Structure 1
Amino acid sequence: MREPVLSLKGISKRYGPVPVLKDVSFDIYAGEVVALLGENGAGKSTLSGIIAGSRSPSEGSMTWLGQPYAPANPAEAIDKGVVLIHQELQLLPELSVAENVFIGRWPMKNGVVDRAQMVRRAQEQLARLNLHIPATRKVAGLSTAHQQLIEIAKALALNARLLILDEPTAALGGAETEALFEQVRKLRAEGVGIIYISHRMEEIRKITDRIIVLRDGEKVQEFADSAIPVRTIVESMVGRSLERMFPSLPEPQPKTMLEVEKLTSAEDAFRDVSFSVKAGEILGIAGLVGAGRTELVRAISGADPVASGSVKLDGEVLALKSPADAIARGIVMVPEDRKEQGLVVAHGIGENLVYANLDRFASRWLTPSAKRAFADKAIAAFGVKGRGEQPASDLSGGNQQKVVIAKWLMRDPKVVVLDEPTRGIDVGARAGIYDIIVNLARRGVAVIVVSSDLEEVLGVSNRILVLAQGNQAGILSREEANDVSVMELATL
């Protein structure tokens, strides 16, 4: 019989009296990819942290290559060959790509950093991921997708024996995801064990060998084969029957709410884009990473400058100089990075909800009771699992996203733009976000959804605008849109 590279026996973790993990046991073998699945709060991150040395178990034990294994910190785990790639990016923006790849492990020559070797080796790792950027450039200004690939390049440079990938494709498009999968297959063939955490069910079936499911801190299911129905996997995660993922869509109203005509980016991110969105319609925007999706919706929302073209709301041409201009006219945007751009995570839920709505309070002074009442109303309306005084950092990804959405929807906007609305959010929480999106359309709001998840953009959209390398490749009706027709346009 094969000996596992990593074995967990009875791993439990408590924070005070609160159990987070309960008696979790499983093995990981060399040359296999094991999916670790569960809703937000199921214990995946805590378990990953224990394996990678950032947390210690309250009970239980681990072995590594048959020997006792209890890393006191991540450095000890890395020395053994165990590397965790976090979902949250941990790059230093003012350092170069190469410096980030080798930070703390600089290649040395004659007592000084061998920068030529560092850049050469970093460029090799980037090439393995089909990321064609200079290793000498700063990380600052790179897209989220490119930063995610740099995080993966860091792990590849460590020659890991066990790699834990936490939502590695959350910010990646189709081409980047395939490049990552190619590397995962190569690492598997080289005998590397991989724990793969993702909320994208189709990629779980595509890249993993077996599946371990956590629910409420316990291992509730282990599937020996990942080629099982998605519904079966999801129902084991949520502990209930899942009748549907995407709600039925309402018919758009006749009135055109938003018109974009020949819009061109001042930074050449997109060119001559034209489309309209009716009241009560959901327009999806699809395309590969670098196609200009985020830049387009940022321009519509007043965050990025345009060189030419126009944006009309209710037939009136807007002169948007800033997001404040767009917000004042009724266009709001939920950004793709909720922690960096959508929330002040160290502040309370109530504060975050109020920050976007200060002008809606009649009084010059915002009293604690008024703030509390406003927060309580928003929390109840959007099903946020938390209290107004709780720091936003305490919430799961799904509840943080609900706070970001709630703070803007409390303004009763005419147009809502959502960029990657379910990035890093579990299957159960996604259903709640989709309900919010569809309910907006039912209220007559014009909705734009940008998503790298093709199943998602197909599931929630009345029509889909496809961008390819900054150009408008086409607009598909719901009847015309499928994974093949969208990808054909996206790769033009």
Structure 2
Amino acid sequence: MNANAAEAVASPTPEYVLEVSRVIKTFPGVKALDEVSFDIKPGEVHALVGENGAGKSTLMKVLAGNYKPDGGTIRHMGEPVRHNNPLEAKERGILLIHQELSLVPELSVAENIYLGSMPLKSFGRVDWRALNEQTNRVLEDMHCGFRASDIVGDLSIAKQQMVEIARADAFHCNVVIFDEPTASLTDQEKEALFETIRKLKARGVGIVYISHKMSEIFEITDRITVLRDGKTQGTMNTAETNADDVTHRMIGRSLDSYFERAESSPGEELLKVEGLTIKGLIEDISFDIRAGEVVGMYGLVGAGRSEVAETIFGIRKPDAGTIFWRGQPQQITSPHAAMKLGIGLVPEDRKGQGLVLGMGGRDNTTLPLVNELNVFGFMQRGRETALFDHYKKQLQIRTTGPKQPVVNLSGGNQQKFVIAKWLATKPKLLILDEPTRGIDVGSKSEIHKLIARLAEEGLAVLVISSEMPEIMGVSQRILTMADGRLTGNFDHEDVTEDKLLNAASPRE
């Protein structure tokens, strides 16, 4: 533990470990924070909720030293502070656990956790023994299941997320900010995280918890503050409010129907897979999907759902099995081959696989159509802009213009551009892998309505999700997977939560 953090923990406990008063942050053309006020008590878990673009991430980056506020005051342990960089904030005892992984894959777990703060011996040499012992104590306390010496790049995404979270426990901070910490975690790993949060809380640490998952908010938090359009919409005791009230404050309206199921009747069989197998990943997968049908695929993290989608889309090569398209066997050896048939894939990792973050919304939307829009070496900007304008309006995408880099957009608007990109190709089958992960409740509802509309227009839609309410709410038929195998096939009229849980549970 660094000296400043240790001194802060040892000092008399103030009423608030962190106070934000009328903070303002402005970017060109956007007032991201408009006199936001917010406070955290010692030993409480305080949820910060709001739609994507509401200002949550901006506020957290101000607190963590990534951004400097343009106005207002911030008090930490009763003293006014103004951090110039994240290192200053961490040295004071404020740590931000990012939603997006900020690890160095080539380094060990221990090196990543203590990067910049490693124990030293004489002449500035790293004390590797102390480093690994300290790290292993933290990992064992969190039941992580990996060791200090493991290379981060060799770990699964879920375990890499646990490395991020271990930093909070390792540095004994007095304010820890968790930004969507369970996005890549299994249920078991989530419970381990919650136990870590409870331990931090018992030590008097103030926790800021950002999540779009209402079940988590009501399970783990003490108070909830809502942001909308960069303004505070109120703070409530968690025990004295409910999800409907929080949602209404977040989006400024009631959700008439959070989920919407397509009313279309399945038409011709478009896709059929028989015996699809990749050794060690998926085994003997067989199912079909028809035009105008929404099929859900449910399972826990690691069940093999994404691998099925990637095989259908030509990213992975199967060891056995056959893919049929409109009754004819196909050799789909690349995404280009899948696109020629009329298949689109919205991947689970929108930033790593779905978008070119430095490009604008227009160029991302038309990326799969580069050859079609290229005439004698020149892009047809008029057609590109027309496509951008069409999908911006249809999907209600909030952006300042066609050239605004998508990296600067909210998660919900980024996801809409990924969907727009594939809709622009006029697909017959659209595969959506975790289509609403990490986006707000309002954007989720819009995407659910879009799924229903696409099916009613004749598209086949395969929705892969680990959120049971979503799968049950939008699907006409549900497939379940566990341990790389297909374990169930249910019509929505006959399915129950118990049936889905039982079918998706790993077998011993």
Query: TM above 0.5, one fold?
Result: yes
Counterpart for residue 188 of structure 1? 201
Q: In 2, Cα distance between the equivalents of 1:179 and 1:107?
A: 27
Counterpart for residue 80 of structure 2? 68
- Specify the code of the residue in structure 2 equivalent to 1:343: L
- Specify the code of the residue in structure 2 equivalent to 1:212: T
Counterpart for residue 372 of structure 2? 360
Q: In 2, Cα distance between the equivalents of 1:117 and 1:275?
A: 53
The 5 A counterparts of 1:148-159 are 148-159=161-172
Counterpart for residue 326 of structure 1? 338
Q: In 2, Cα distance between the equivalents of 1:280 and 1:135?
A: 50
- Specify the code of the residue in structure 1 equivalent to 2:313: S
2:468 to 454, 465, 490: 454
- Specify the code of the residue in structure 1 equivalent to 2:417: V
Counterpart for residue 351 of structure 1? 363
Q: TM-score, normalised by structure 1?
A: 0.94
8 A Cα contact 1:172 1:452, kept in partner: no
Partner-residue secondary structure (3-state), 1:357: helix
Counterpart for residue 448 of structure 2? 434
8 A Cα contact 1:175 1:288, kept in partner: no
Q: In 2, Cα distance between the equivalents of 1:253 and 1:112?
A: 67
The 5 A counterparts of 1:127-142 are 127-140=140-153, 142=155
8 A Cα contact 2:113 2:166, kept in partner: yes
1:42 to 29, 50, 54: 54
Counterpart for residue 246 of structure 1? 259
Counterpart for residue 101 of structure 1? 113
The 5 A counterparts of 1:248-397 are 248-266=261-279, 268-361=280-373, 363-364=375-376, 365-386=378-399, 387-397=401-411
For the structure 1 residues 88 and 226, does the alpha-carbon distance in structure 2 shift closer, same or farther, using more than 3 Å as the test?
farther
Partner-residue secondary structure (3-state), 1:356: helix
8 A Cα contact 1:262 1:309, kept in partner: yes
8 A Cα contact 1:211 1:226, kept in partner: no
2:432 to 402, 405, 418: 418
Counterpart for residue 464 of structure 1? 478
Per-residue deviation at 1:179?
A: 2.1
Per-residue deviation at 1:161?
A: 1.2
Please, which moves more after superposition, 88-97 or 199-208? 88-97
Per-residue deviation at 1:321?
A: 1.5
Counterpart for residue 6 of structure 2? none
8 A Cα contact 2:169 2:196, kept in partner: no
- Specify the code of the residue in structure 1 equivalent to 2:356: V
Per-residue deviation at 1:204?
A: 0.7
Partner-residue secondary structure (3-state), 1:302: coil
Q: In 2, Cα distance between the equivalents of 1:353 and 1:49?
A: 29
8 A Cα contact 1:251 1:280, kept in partner: yes
Q: Output one character per residue of 1:458-487: Cα deviation in whole Å (capped at 9) or x when no partner.
A: 222122222222222222321343333222
Q: In 2, Cα distance between the equivalents of 1:315 and 1:481?
A: 29
Per-residue deviation at 1:153?
A: 1.6
1:23 matched to 2:41? The reply is: no
8 A Cα contact 2:20 2:73, kept in partner: yes
Q: Which residues of structure 1 form unaligned runs of 5+? A: none
Per-residue deviation at 1:112?
A: 2.3
8 A Cα contact 2:107 2:152, kept in partner: yes
Q: In 2, Cα distance between the equivalents of 1:119 and 1:447?
A: 48
Partner-residue secondary structure (3-state), 1:249: coil
- Specify the code of the residue in structure 1 equivalent to 2:472: L
1:487 matched to 2:501? The reply is: yes
For the structure 1 residues 435 and 50, does the alpha-carbon distance in structure 2 shift closer, same or farther, using more than 3 Å as the test?
same
Per-residue deviation at 1:84?
A: 0.5
Per-residue deviation at 1:173?
A: 3.1
For the structure 1 residues 270 and 129, does the alpha-carbon distance in structure 2 shift closer, same or farther, using more than 3 Å as the test?
farther
8 A Cα contact 2:397 2:416, kept in partner: yes
Per-residue deviation at 1:109?
A: 3.6
- Specify the code of the residue in structure 2 equivalent to 1:487: L
Q: Output one character per residue of 1:152-200: Cα deviation in whole Å (capped at 9) or x when no partner.
A: 1222222221110111112223222222222212221222110101111
8 A Cα contact 2:169 2:200, kept in partner: no
8 A Cα contact 1:208 1:226, kept in partner: no
- Specify the code of the residue in structure 1 equivalent to 2:415: Q
Q: What is the percent sequence identity of the aligned residues? A: 43
Counterpart for residue 118 of structure 1? 131
Please, which moves more after superposition, 287-296 or 212-221? 287-296
2:97 to 62, 85, 100: 85
8 A Cα contact 1:265 1:306, kept in partner: yes
Per-residue deviation at 1:79?
A: 1.1
Per-residue deviation at 1:358?
A: 2.3
Cα-Cα RMSD? 2.1
Q: In 1, Cα distance between the equivalents of 2:115 and 2:352?
A: 23
8 A Cα contact 1:451 1:457, kept in partner: yes
Q: In 2, Cα distance between the equivalents of 1:17 and 1:440?
A: 34
Counterpart for residue 238 of structure 2? 225
Please, which moves more after superposition, 62-71 or 324-333? 62-71
For the structure 1 residues 352 and 26, does the alpha-carbon distance in structure 2 shift closer, same or farther, using more than 3 Å as the test?
closer
1:211 to 224, 229, 240: 224
Q: Output one character per residue of 1:364-402: Cα deviation in whole Å (capped at 9) or x when no partner.
A: 442322322333233333332232222222322111111
Q: Output one character per residue of 1:25-72: Cα deviation in whole Å (capped at 9) or x when no partner.
A: 232111111110111121111111121111222222122222222222
Per-residue deviation at 1:254?
A: 4.0
Q: In 1, Cα distance between the equivalents of 2:76 and 2:464?
A: 42
8 A Cα contact 2:274 2:323, kept in partner: yes
2:182 to 169, 173, 180: 169
